[in-house]
Chain A
């Protein structure tokens, strides 16, 4: 395995230091940047979480990072999105006001019905167990969101059940080399660290 360099995209509101330090403690090199030339050199692009969709997309567009990230996805460069970072993959979000997303994975970001918030620890339940996430099946992860990514079935890897009504939200999604976690692996203690490592090590870096 080569020495991977991870580019953490700075779009103004993410929990940048938390992500970078978690990666450091796990033994990975990473760099925080919004400079396309810097991010062009990394092996894996990571879109961090914490923030509101419209503000994040506004910043990404103002930095012209939307075209850059879309081009990377087209070239099959690995991209991981965490929480809001995953939701940015969508075509559109209805958080606050309708806002166009990166359009990397077809779907819409909608408010969670019957429950305003999904804050705290919940289990991820895999739909299929023969993938790089298999050891994380039924592990508890830390969620902190009030909107969810309504995505096509074929991209769903795992779900999490919110309440006694059985309301399920996609908690892990994947399309080619684009992976989204609705929860925060960097804040999910042992379960998150293990998932983070399995994902970073298991992803396909061949270009």
Chain B
């Protein structure tokens, strides 16, 4: 049976891994590669590297970082997000070391390129990021470039209904970085009930972790800050999820003799 995944999220700003609090306040942690190596060693199911300033600064993807991660010998799948402008950027990210790409602003800026990218990479390699909140009891999407909320767009729905992308990274951007504050209403109000969701933002342990993992639409949980507080944090949180369909392999193999 297919397992649900615990995804280690590395938020990167100015090339430095940071702890983020609602995407408003940041504390530096260090080298993103070191964090990725830790998550790889600890047995994270996927690693999401999210470079949050690349689009705002019009810098394009952080190919240097992707290449650095690609050459690190990591054997955990890498999801890369940040600054992807067109299909060429997406293909290059995969060839340098990413396994999947996560898209956000391109949905507003260059929609046709997502279709093109899907035709080249396959939809399974593409995730869309949707920072959401509840406003007047309605689900709204946050456009971080314009800094406004609005309803989910036709473009988003089209990508999902037509299987142009595979999964949604549903971010509680308001509670991101705040322990166990994830708003469960975001899942309940998500309009498409068959879409697999990766939940992120304010999920840091029992009982919320188990509760959201058990939701049938949840395919993965992303954790950021919580994984930086202790050694082997991935295994620690997986131990809290006994009885749920998650992978619990031992980590011990080093290479050929």
Contacts and interface: CB of A to CB of B under 8 A. Distances in A.
Interface of A: 12-18, 21-22, 24-27, 50-52, 54-55, 84, 95-96, 116-123, 139-140, 142-146, 161-164, 184, 186-194, 197, 201
B122 A120 contact: no
A116 B35 CA distance: 32
B229 interface: no
A146 B124 contact: yes
Nearest to B120: A55
Interface stretch (B13-21, B24-32, B66-74): B66-74
Contacts of B70: 17-18, 21
B95 interface: yes
A26 B256 contact: yes
A190 to B, nearest CB: 3
A164 B121 CA distance: 29
Contacts of A164: 1
Contacts of B40: 189
A206 B220 CA distance: 45
A142 B249 CA distance: 12
Contacts of B99: 15, 18, 50, 144, 184, 187
Interface in B204-252: 219-220, 247, 249-252
A162 B2 contact: yes
B255 to A, nearest CB: 6
A96 B119 contact: yes
In the complex, the 7 A-B pairs of residues with the closest C-beta atoms, listed nearest first: A190-B253, A25-B73, A17-B70, A52-B122, A121-B247, A187-B77, A197-B256
A160 B5 CA distance: 17
A17 B253 CA distance: 21
A50 B72 CA distance: 19
A144 B72 contact: no
Contact of B249 (A118, A140, A161): A140
A144 B77 contact: yes
A186 B74 CA distance: 9
A95 B78 CA distance: 24
A146 B256 contact: no
B96 A17 contact: yes
Contacts of B43: 189
Contacts of B72: 21
B247 A140 contact: yes
B100 interface: yes
A162 B245 CA distance: 12
16 contacts: A13-B120, A14-B94, A17-B71, A50-B121, A54-B119, A120-B45, A121-B247, A122-B1, A139-B249, A143-B2, A146-B123, A161-B1, A162-B2, A184-B77, A190-B75, A190-B251
A139 B4 CA distance: 16
Given A27-B255, A27-B256, A120 B220 contact: yes
Interface of B: 1-5, 40, 43, 45, 67, 70-73, 75-78, 91, 94-100, 118-125, 163, 166-167, 196, 219-220, 247, 249-253, 255-256
Contacts of A116: 163, 166
Given A13-B120, A27-B256, A139-B249, 18 more contacts: A13-B91, A13-B94, A14-B94, A18-B70, A18-B97, A50-B99, A50-B125, A55-B120, A95-B122, A120-B2, A120-B4, A120-B45, A120-B219, A144-B124, A146-B123, A187-B77, A188-B75, A193-B253
A26 to B, nearest CB: 6
A101 B196 CA distance: 30
Contacts of A18: 70, 78, 97, 99
Contacts of B253: 189-191, 193-194
Contacts of B1: 122-123, 161-164
Given A52-B118, A55-B120, A140-B249, A22 B75 contact: yes
Contact of A117 (B94, B97, B98, B167): B167
Given A120-B45, A121-B3, A15 B167 contact: no
B196 A117 contact: yes
A17 B67 contact: yes
A52 B119 contact: yes
A95 B252 CA distance: 38
Contacts of B250: 190
A146 B94 CA distance: 18
